[in-house]
Structure 1
């Protein structure tokens, strides 16, 4: 009983430990394409890193020297991680599969926030997300899942990534970016593990969320018809929702 009562505290401590690395990833990679990764405060140049996580990498999100905001707004990362934790708890499933989901979510949260900020999905976030998810699903296959779901996940990840990349080659800026294609590798593998209908559901849901948000922003006159919304956050949110529906 005592161990069970201590689980919520352990989860809270684990969540708090994840906040600084995620905030650091958002602050470091939320820069325009072609720019070097951010190493410190844009205003005063004070370095920011895990050796000095507060207040820059805590909920305050402020430079320790000049108090300028660094990275994601206060509270945004924390709320996103709470949502990710809820998905992980509610999704259930075997330990190895949940490990794959946890790994993917850990990279998906900063990816979504960076894409919202600068319309960019850095390779340093998308590649580890895809590779780790695929590898952990392989462990799940070896520990009871069997080869069929893993082979399907592999094919689904490659197919979805190739499909997104093809739109870039054929449509240029009107298609998905290569960052979306790399993100799709992990998304396809994760959803493909549960079956092709689950993958299709996640993809359709991502388009639906993108369309609804786009129409809402148009109605509020926050964007124009010619505006380009980042697709990564919708693909990530739809994947998380689909995982809940699938399990």
Structure 2
């Protein structure tokens, strides 16, 4: 087995990468189930033929081809996009290189942020079944990191940052109605704020500004391409997740 300059076998790193990518079917399943209009029940089968969607055979639409295993109808996100997003998330973790305890919290949040991004882009909603575990798990794992040696200060700041960012989004909803951010964005912001707040208030502000900048650039580009109208409402969840990732990389 070939060894890297550090002495770590190349095969072991490849095995870990393949193990991470094996999570892709689970993430694609989460997108398939929850990418439904508000108020609708979660999807349980192929829209075309009704074949059950799950992690048991015949595994419809869970592979990169995103097609039903029985009727070959296209179901869910475009082919390979979930897998590509997961690979990019792993790359962010490798580049950011947080301490082991914080790495667990970051990986947990990313695991929920990927399906949330695809669901929001598809149907403009951020389900509580995904935002709740994302925020709660991130907060708890950061608490473990605090107990593991980081101390209470960054965890208390992360808690305050998550609440503050969520209240900011919720306030825009109450004050501006449909022109503001949605309550789903506020719930997503709980986890985002906690994760970025762990590193400091400046990182939290940077993540929010980057998210606003990305959404603005995307809106202008779509208007220029005549893909949306002036009064169209773009889902903000994907930009909030991307802004958080960019802030982590800058940190």
Tell me which interval the TM-score lies in, with the shorter structure as reference length. over 0.9
Q: Of residues 140, 151, 156 in structure 2, which corresponds to 1:151?
A: 156
Pick from 49, 55, 62: which aligns with 1:44?
49
Compared CA separation, residues 55 and 43, structure 1 to 2 (3 A): closer
Q: Alignment partner of 1:194: what SS?
A: coil
Structure 1 residues 203 and 173: CA distance shift in structure 2, 3 A: same
| Residues 42-191 of structure 1 mapped to structure 2, 5 A cutoff | 42-52=47-57, 54-191=59-196
Measured against aligned partners, the alpha-carbon deviations of 1:116-151 in whole angstroms (never above 9, x if no partner) come to 000010111111000000001001101111100000
Using the alignment, how far apart are the partners of 1:99 and 1:52 within structure 2? Answer: 31
Cα RMSD for the two superposed structures: 1.2
Per-residue deviation, 1:12: 2.7
CA apart distance, 1:20: 0.7
Which residue of 32, 36, 57 corresponds with 1:31? 36
Distance of 1:128 and 1:53 partners within structure 2: 28
The structure-2 alpha-carbon separation of the partners of 1:53 and 1:144, relative to structure 1 and needing over 3 Å to count, comes to farther
Q: How many residues align?
A: 246
Q: Give the Å deviation of 1:166.
A: 1.1
Q: Deviations over 1:17-36 (max 9, x none)?
A: 11110000000000000000
- State which of 18, 22, 37 in structure 1 corresponds to 2:23: 18
State the 1:64 CA deviation. Answer: 1.1
- What residue is the counterpart of 2:9 in the other structure? 4
Distance in structure 2 (CA, Å) of the matches to 1:166 and 1:34: 23
Partner residue of 2:242? 237
Taking a change above 3 Å as real, the CA distance of residues 145 and 136 of structure 1, as seen in their structure-2 partners, is same
Structure 1: gaps of 5 or more residues? none
When normalised by structure 1's length, the TM-score is: 0.97
How far apart are 1:55 and its partner, in Å?
4.8
CA contact (8 A) 1:167 1:176 kept: yes
After superposition, the Cα gap between the structure-2 partners of 1:16 and 1:52, relative to the gap in structure 1 and judged at 3 Å, is farther
* Counterpart contact for 2:66–2:74, Cα < 8 Å: yes
Q: Distance in 1 between matches of 2:130 and 2:216?
A: 25
Q: Which runs of 5+ in 2 are unaligned?
A: none
Q: 4+ residue runs of structure 1 moved beyond 6 angstroms?
A: none
SS at match of 2:126: coil
Contact 2:51 2:60 in 1 (8 A): no
The structure that is helix-richer by fraction is 1
